[in-house]
Amino acid sequence: MYRNGISTTPQGDMNSFSQAAAHGHRNVFRKLLAQPEKEKSDILSLEEILAEGTDLAETAPPPLCASRNSKAKLRALREAMYHSAEHGYVDVTIDIRSIGVPWTLHTWLESLRIAFQQHRRPLIQCLLKEFKTIQEEEYTEELVTQGLPLMFEILKASKNEVISQQLCVIFTHCYGPYPIPKLTEIKRKQTSRLDPHFLNNKEMSDVTFLVEGRPFYAHKVLLFTASPRFKALLSSKPTNDGTCIEIGYVKYSIFQLVMQYLYYGGPESLLIKNNEIMELLSAAKFFQLEALQRHCEIICAKSINTDNCVDIYNHAKFLGVTELSAYCEGYFLKNMMVLIENEAFKQLLYDKNGEGTGQDVLQDLQRTLAIRIQSIHLSSSKGSVV
């Protein structure tokens, strides 16, 4: 029968290596490896198992050498490796690995789980270093459902910089060399149009906004169809009421950019300063202007770097802008080895209060990485994410 990529036999028919490995008899296992091929029986006797540890030297197992029986022996050792991992005898598993038997994803994960449960930091470091030896063909659903939760749990609990750095290397490797999925512009819905000449024109306006104590003149015919938010603002005032509609929490210069976007029919004419983009994103979100919001998200994505990525992410999470948040998470995963040295990023990962986001960032990163692995390694159209 096959389990986790390994051909296994019922316990009563296990080869001698598997018998020793499944019972954690490390010295017997080493003695079996040391014996010449012709002297070995395929069945480990009960007497040998019971005598394990009585007079066997604590020597490292010899390397696996090529011979006529090497393929059969390799199969037997792979099965033994599986049984030692399944039964929690991680030292036996490491012995088998040390003679050249390759990891399967399952045996590696089980070994890492036991090492984490036993708080064996040096062994965890050794296993994390070995991840790169696992063939990508081994990246199965188990990596997503079992591996990622385990590794992110280790990252969450670890106060060891070496382990954190090793995990970051693994996450970046799993994310892959392909670009982060791009954000695309949203085509603006067809609405009423006015000549830009009417922008903030007092003589021709029929509605006035008050922003930072300053009037801004506009036209209802344009704003009624611009967004549900503008429609609600205009509907809240009587038709003949000459009072201004006060706009709070938005700077005059930012409101001017919003209105310029509406009157010009798109973002092409906007000259947005670097220090204005986050505020314009907030305003676009508030006024429910989806196309302008996406345009701001794209500008943020194009300008993201190791210095501003945490600020952009916190702002996106605060606003509930999921596409930009996901892009930032992709950026984190792709550049995690560098970012783990960044104090702002470390605070983001380990700040349980989630001061800027109110979210568990590690869970968000795990979900984003799981989606990426599914797309690259597990979907029928591999690589469709790029």
Domain regions of the chain by residue span: 2-175, 189-265, 283-386
Whether the CB-CB separation of 296 and 284 falls below 8 Å is answered with yes
Tens of pLDDT along 225-281? Answer: 899 999 999 988 765 666 789 998 899 999 999 999 999 888 888 889 999 999 999
Query: For the range 306-314, what are the long-range contacts, defined as Cβ-Cβ under 8 Å and sequence gap of 24 or more?
Result: 306/335, 306/338, 306/339, 306/342, 309/335, 309/339, 309/345, 310/342, 310/344, 310/345, 310/348, 311/278, 311/344, 312/278, 313/348, 313/356, 313/357, 314/348, 314/356, 314/357
pLDDT in tens, 168-196: 999 999 999 999 999 999 887 766 667 77
Rounded CA gap, 155 and 29, in Å?
A: 34
Global pTM value: 0.82
Nearest to 340 by CA among 368, 310, 304, 313: 310
Residues in the chain: 386
* Structure confidence at residue 74 (pLDDT): 82
Q: What stretches in the chain show pLDDT beneath 70?
A: 1-13, 36-69, 190-193, 238-242, 352-359, 380-386
Structure tokens at 361: 């960032």
Q: Which two tokens stand for residue 289?
A: 């202007």
Query: What are the two backbone dihedrals, phi and then psi, of residue 306, each rounded to the nearest 5 degrees?
Result: -65, -20
* Class of 189-265 in CATH: alpha beta
